[in-house]
Protein backbone atom coordinates (compact mmCIF):
# COMPACT_ATOMS: atom_id res chain seq x y z
CA UNK A 1 0.00 0.00 0.00
CA UNK A 2 2.86 2.37 0.74
CA UNK A 3 4.30 1.90 -2.75
CA UNK A 4 1.03 3.11 -4.23
CA UNK A 5 1.33 6.35 -2.30
CA UNK A 6 4.96 6.67 -3.35
CA UNK A 7 4.23 6.43 -7.07
CA UNK A 8 0.98 8.42 -6.97
CA UNK A 9 2.72 11.73 -7.84
CA UNK A 10 3.99 10.05 -11.02
CA UNK A 11 0.67 8.45 -11.92
CA UNK A 12 -1.55 11.48 -11.35
CA UNK A 13 -0.40 13.48 -14.40
CA UNK A 14 -0.56 10.40 -16.63
CA UNK A 15 -4.10 9.64 -15.49
CA UNK A 16 -5.14 13.26 -15.99
CA UNK A 17 -3.80 13.34 -19.55
CA UNK A 18 -5.44 9.98 -20.24
CA UNK A 19 -8.84 11.20 -19.03
CA UNK A 20 -8.55 14.41 -21.08
CA UNK A 21 -7.67 12.39 -24.21
CA UNK A 22 -10.56 9.99 -23.61
CA UNK A 23 -13.05 12.84 -23.20
CA UNK A 24 -11.73 14.56 -26.33
CA UNK A 25 -11.92 11.34 -28.35
CA UNK A 26 -15.47 10.50 -27.23
CA UNK A 27 -16.58 14.07 -27.90
CA UNK A 28 -15.06 13.97 -31.39
CA UNK A 29 -16.56 10.55 -32.13
CA UNK A 30 -20.04 11.71 -31.15
CA UNK A 31 -19.87 14.93 -33.18
CA UNK A 32 -18.38 13.70 -36.46
CA UNK A 33 -20.25 11.26 -38.69
CA UNK A 34 -17.36 10.05 -40.92
CA UNK A 35 -14.33 8.00 -39.99
CA UNK A 36 -11.42 6.66 -42.00
CA UNK A 37 -12.69 3.13 -41.31
CA UNK A 38 -15.11 1.58 -38.86
CA UNK A 39 -18.21 3.13 -37.37
CA UNK A 40 -19.21 5.22 -34.38
CA UNK A 41 -19.98 2.26 -32.11
CA UNK A 42 -16.67 0.56 -32.80
CA UNK A 43 -14.67 3.71 -32.05
CA UNK A 44 -16.62 4.43 -28.86
CA UNK A 45 -15.89 0.93 -27.59
CA UNK A 46 -12.20 1.25 -28.46
CA UNK A 47 -11.88 4.70 -26.88
CA UNK A 48 -13.65 3.71 -23.65
CA UNK A 49 -12.57 0.10 -23.11
CA UNK A 50 -8.93 0.63 -24.05
CA UNK A 51 -8.78 3.75 -21.93
CA UNK A 52 -5.02 4.14 -21.94
CA UNK A 53 -4.42 3.62 -25.66
CA UNK A 54 -7.91 3.81 -27.19
CA UNK A 55 -8.06 7.58 -27.69
CA UNK A 56 -4.58 7.59 -29.22
CA UNK A 57 -5.56 4.76 -31.57
CA UNK A 58 -8.67 6.71 -32.61
CA UNK A 59 -6.83 9.96 -33.31
CA UNK A 60 -4.13 8.16 -35.31
CA UNK A 61 -6.23 5.64 -37.27
CA UNK A 62 -9.92 6.51 -37.03
CA UNK A 63 -10.22 10.25 -37.39
CA UNK A 64 -11.18 11.33 -40.90
CA UNK A 65 -8.68 12.96 -43.21
CA UNK A 66 -10.25 16.42 -43.52
CA UNK A 67 -11.52 16.95 -39.97
pTM: 0.74
Please report, for residues 6, 34, 43, 47, 59, the alpha-carbon distance to residue 65 in angstroms, rounded to integers and kept in the order given: 43, 9, 16, 19, 11
**pLDDT score of 5:** 81
Task: Name the band, by pLDDT with cuts 50, 70 and 90, for residue 27.
Answer: very high
Helices (H) and strands (E) in the chain, counts: 3, 0
Task: Specify whether the CB–CB gap between 35 and 62 falls below 8 A.
Answer: yes
Tell me the mean pLDDT in the region 53-64: 83
Average pLDDT over residues 40-65: 84
Instruction: Convert the pLDDT of each residue in 14-25 to its tens digit.
Output: 889 989 999 998
Amino acid sequence: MNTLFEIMPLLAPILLVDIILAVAAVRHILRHPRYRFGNKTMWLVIAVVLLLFGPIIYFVFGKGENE
